[in-house]
Amino acid sequence: MDYKASLASLLSPIVQLDAAEILPFIESPPDPAMGHFAFPCFRLAKTLKKAPPVIAQDVAEAVTMTALVLNEYHWIDRAVATGPYVNFFLREAAFMDDTLRAVLAAGADYGKPAPAIQSAHAAQKILIEYSSPNIAKHFHPGHFANTVIGNALVRIYRHLGYDVTSINHLGDFGTQFGKLIVAYQRWGSREEIERTEIDGLVKIYVKFHEEADHDPTLNDEARTWVVKMQDGNKEALELWQWFVTLSNRSFDRIYKRLDATFDRVRGESYYTDKLDAAVQTIRDKGILVESEGAQIVDLEAYNLPPCMILRSDGGTLYATRDIAAALDRHAEYNFDKCIYIIANEQNTYCAQWFKVMELMGFPWAQNLLHVTYGMYRFESGKMSTRRGDVIKMEELIDEAVEKTRLIIEEKNPNLPNKESVAEQVGLGALIFNRLYNSRIKDTVFNWQNMINFDGETGPYVQYCHARTCSVLDKAAEKGVLPAEFTDFDASHLTGNEAFNVARILYDYPQAIAEAADKNEPYLIARHLMALAQAFNAFYHHNIILTDAAHIQTARLALTAAVQSVLQNGMQLLAIHAPRAM
């Protein structure tokens, strides 16, 4: 039952607006004492030429009258005007009955839109580019942020029925590979680098820079290797391929732990043979101009620095490759939306090349979407990338898992599969921490705030889920099985706590839709936190397993609904939901 939609059609003739216009204004007040739904009347003052509180009064009376006469609105208990708001109070048992039944019947599908909307979504092609670390460089916390945001968005869009293709745009192109080849040939040990992977590559890369400081011929040598790579020299390409393979080996370990997958892994180099055509297209549009020997697109009129397309030596740039990639993706997928998850440090950069796409006159340029995100901040300040001493994400993950293992060791030493639960909860802590606030905000990295089982953390939500599982398992031991829960009678659910749980369950589909709309997974993380808190309050106020069979069935139905939504919500954020911890 879509209460908001129903209220909108009830209000429509009363306030003389289309139901569709009313719908977005119907709110769920945070405090149920203010009503279960509310409709603000400010907007109507102009057309109805009355003060909003007067309108609210009239509307409330009309609604109450209609609900009395029309049986389809029997679930409305009363409508009350409070200042400029009309507050709607529902018959709580009817609302809880309806909501719990919907959750239990839909299971993992709860939160998906109606079939007609799903089919409309299925016809929409969404590309989501995410993660995109750089070959021969460490996967750092910024890439972690990118990966968990992207992974969540892929899952959210898929849940809503969209046709999603995920792409990993690896940084595998550039002059640094010439330097790496030189460094490897002079100081590298194949065996050591095979073993140490990115560490080994970073080590010789740093050495290259130290040496090149007093031997500039090294740079010339590196440049000749870059040219050789461009000319398809076998030795150069084999070495480059080896760097790529080694780096991917360590990235893949992280992706496996994060449950992140990609439909396409297409590094920047994938577009190499498409660069000339892309540059030609820009030139044909007449926006390419020469500046100090380089080819640029002037963006002064848009308050942006110029976008360089070709260096004076003819070399291409990061932007050239992004433009070529966008053209290629559009030709291949004819996408409805192409999402780029890229750090806020590159906001200007994205604005520049998006503007170039627009100036090229492609109407679809407006379907390119930069989904930006803030940095991690560590107690010691911004993570350093200068001297190659970046914080390695793999080590942070290991540390999170180890810290979690110690907590489990202390709290629940007899837990089976302690190691794998520690992995799931340690990662849950890291992921939830990043997804709990708007992606645009910086994330302060603090172990205590992240892992605390009692705080606003992933482990708290996971723990609540494990609690629901434990209650359901105990019921099963008593012989009460899920099939019986559907016989529940919601009038046995009394108290604000139960109603509050149902209200949050009811709003869950909307949270998912909004998360996709704003590309903000935190809306789901916040919702799960609210649900976990509400369930814990319910749990502390009510004995679920009791001898009063009807009461027990109703409370178990609510518990099962919470279990299902917590599990599925965490799944959308790529957080595991262990049954015990």
Q: Which residues contact ligand ARG by CB under 6 A?
A: 129, 132-134, 169, 171, 322, 340, 342
Q: Which is nearer to ligand ARG, 251 or 499 (CB)?
A: 251
Q: Which run of H or E residues covers position 246? A: helix 234-258
Q: Are 369 and 340 in contact (CB under 8 A)?
A: yes
- Strand order in 368-373's β-sheet? 264-265, 163-168, 125-129, 337-343, 368-373
Distance of CA 152 to the CA centre of its chain: 4
Question: H-helix or E-strand containing 574?
Answer: none
- The owner of tokens 């070529």 is 324
Edge to edge, the sheet with strand 381-382 lists 381-382, 376-378, 443-444
| Beta carbon nearer to ligand ARG, 373 or 499 | 373
Q: Is 318:352 a contact under the CB 8 Å cutoff?
A: no
Minimum gap (Å) between residue 575 Cβ and ligand ARG: 24
Q: How far is the CB of 199 from ligand ARG (least distance, A)?
A: 18
Asked if residue 147 lies in contact with residue 396, where contact means CB atoms within 8 angstroms, the answer is no
Q: How far is the CB of 519 from ligand ARG (least distance, A)?
A: 15
**Residue 325 or 557 with smaller CB distance to ligand ARG:** 325
Find the shortest distance in angstroms from Cβ 226 to ligand ARG.
18
| Residue 58 or 322 with smaller CB distance to ligand ARG | 322
Rounded to an integer, what distance in angstroms lies between the CA atom of residue 75 and that of residue 558? 20
Cβ-based nearer residue to ligand ARG, 169 or 330: 169
CB atoms inside a 10 Å sphere around CB 520: 22
Map residue 447 onto helix, strand or coil: helix
Rounded to the nearest whole angstrom, what is the least distance from the CB of residue 136 to ligand ARG in the complex?
12
Task: Enumerate the β-bridge partners of residue 290.
Answer: 295
Residue 170 CB, nearest approach to ligand ARG (Å): 7
| CB nearer to ligand ARG: pick between 340 and 436 | 340
8 A C-beta contact, residue 35 and residue 95: no
Element (H, E) at 459: helix 458-477
Q: How far is the CB of 328 from ligand ARG (least distance, A)?
A: 12
Distance CA 189, CA 200 (A): 9
Q: Which C-beta is closer to ligand ARG: that of 159 or that of 169?
A: 169
Residue 417: what residue type?
N
By beta carbon distance, the residue nearest ligand ARG is 171
Task: Report whether 89 contacts 35 (CB < 8 A).
Answer: yes
The DSSP symbol for 172 reads -
Q: How far is the CB of 437 from ligand ARG (least distance, A)?
A: 21
**Residue for token pair 């044909």:** 284
Strands (E), 379-417: 381-382
Q: Which is nearer to ligand ARG, 169 or 576 (CB)?
A: 169
In the complex with ligand ARG, the residue whose CB is nearer, 127 or 239, is 127
Smallest gap, in angstroms, from Cβ of residue 288 to ligand ARG?
20
CB of 434 to ligand ARG, least distance (A): 17
Element (H, E) at 346: none
Given the complex with ligand ARG, which of 134 and 564 has the nearer CB atom? 134
Helix then strand then coil, % of the chain, to nearest 5: 60, 10, 25
Q: For residues 52 and 171, which CB has a smaller minimum distance to ligand ARG in the complex?
A: 171
Q: How far is the CB of 129 from ligand ARG (least distance, A)?
A: 6
If phi over 0 gives left and psi between -120 and 50 gives alpha, with beta otherwise, what is residue 161? left
26 vs 342, which CB is nearer to ligand ARG? Answer: 342
Residues 168, 262 contacting (CB under 8 angstroms) = yes
Cα dihedral angle (97, 77, 73, 32), rounded to 10 degrees? Answer: -60
Nearest alpha-carbon partner for 27 in 87, 75, 81, 70: 87
Q: What interhelical angle do 176-187 and 217-230 show, nearest 10?
A: 110
Q: How far is the CB of 171 from ligand ARG (least distance, A)?
A: 4
Q: How far is the CB of 442 from ligand ARG (least distance, A)?
A: 17
Cβ-contact 289, 297 below 8 angstroms: yes
- Give, for 227, the enclosing helix (H) or strand (E): helix 217-230
- CB-nearer residue toward ligand ARG: 134 or 443: 134
Q: How far is the CB of 218 from ligand ARG (least distance, A)?
A: 25
Q: Is the CB of residue 104 less than 8 Å from the CB of residue 561?
A: yes
Structure tokens given for 305: 């620095």
Tell me whether residue 129 or residue 197 sits nearer to ligand ARG (CB atom). 129
